[in-house]
Amino acid sequence: MKALRGTSTVLFLITAAIALSIDPLEGLPAAAAALPSGIGYLLCRNPAKDSKLERAGNGWPGREPTKAGGALAGQPHASGTEVGKTVALDIMDQFKTTGINKTRSSRQEDELVARRRNGDASGLRIMVTGANAGIGFWTSLQLARRGAEVIMACRDSRKAETAATAIRARVPGARLRLTTLDVASLGSVAAAVAELERLEHLDVLIANAGMVHAPSARQRSVDGLELVAATNFFGHFALVAGLLPVLERAPAARLVTLGSLSTLLVRPHLDDPQLEGNYSSWQAYAQSKIMLQSFAFELDRRLQRTTFTTRALSTHPGYSLSGRTPRIAGVNEPGTFKRVVDTLQAPFTQGKDHGAWPIVRAAVDPDAFSAPGPVFYGPRGVVKGGPRKATPASITTDPEVAATIWKAAESATGISFLG
């Protein structure tokens, strides 16, 4: 009997995993739709809760829909074909705007603020690095759903086109712009800056691109830098330096860097920023995230000492796994085994569609800088859940540590700014 129960449990999990692996646009099979609601609980995809969040147009568990019109008041959402599969909501239920035009009349401003509070991001131009997969893709999709113009900066143009096609299939009329960017190459960063510096303005730059699975042995980038640090931090340092003038053309621009829970678990080798003598794949990843997160907080401190209006903050996606993320052809296609393994971790993980929530909120929340000090967003439950302000690793908020990291970035890239 016990063996039978064990077998039933395994079959139950496999069935659930296969059901989740079907692209919503290809249709949700009747068999999957008829699965017991317990599967929704097991996978943290409770149908009633997800339906409520879908109506609310945000990813804030426990919040009621706003009373205004539109999707937030319970009207059909633009992603209605994905009911039961993809919540992928962009958590803007009380948002105003990051870039209100100061020349607008008071009435126009009030109207715009009201729309922002209902999740309308139209009028915002937001750049996302590494936008063709993972957190970057879901961030781009959620921002496009709310009307933002999204600049998808990707290393592989073919994958970028595939991702853009997937977004347009879910958001007809999405305003997308593709640009080639390999953050591991300072030459590619310079080329992207040369292309984008002609923009009228840029409201938000989301530094998302990065290596999660670092190589087991130390490798060098095309510029001779340690590859993980070059990808996750040094390239973004150069990108921000180059695009800061473009950000300054927006009334209230911001930089959002993608931090990580790993910053809480590793002590960095500040005397060895490129890990020439202390390399391990885990150390390389965590240290690069410490540097990127610290950079955001230090950049914000330095910006506030100038006349610049741009601000900087950081965020993290919790413990987000591809096996718990809706399948999208060419973007996220984990196999059945991956689905099953990741589903077994459901109590403390979430999909990358949910992992994008804190990033989106960090990009648009008008109350982000309402209190002094470093601003950091993450899931409500630390590893999963709706977005909220969180407490960053103390080492990433230390000004002395940040100064050391900043000097290392200037040395690695040959670029100095806000010194």
Residue 315, φ and ψ in degrees, nearest 5? -160, 165
Selected catalytic residue, list 41, 285, 319, 377:
285
Annotation marks residue 285 as catalytic: yes
The burial of 4, by beta-carbon neighbours within 10 Å (0-12 exposed, 13-18 middle, 19 or more buried), is given as exposed
Structure tokens of 4?
Answer: 């039978």
Buried b (16+ CB within 10 A) or exposed e, 211-236: beebeeebeebebebbbbbbbbbbbb
Distance CA 193, CA 414 (A): 16
Strand duo 149-154 + 176-180: pairing: parallel
Which are the contacts of 19, defined by CB distance < 8 A and separation ≥ 6? 28, 29, 31, 32, 35, 39
Beta-bridge partner residues of 177: 151
- Rounded Cα–Cα distance for residues 73 and 54 (Å): 10
Round to whole Å and give the CA distance between 80 and 86.
9
* Count of helices and strands (H, E) across the chain: 15, 10
Catalytically annotated residues: 285
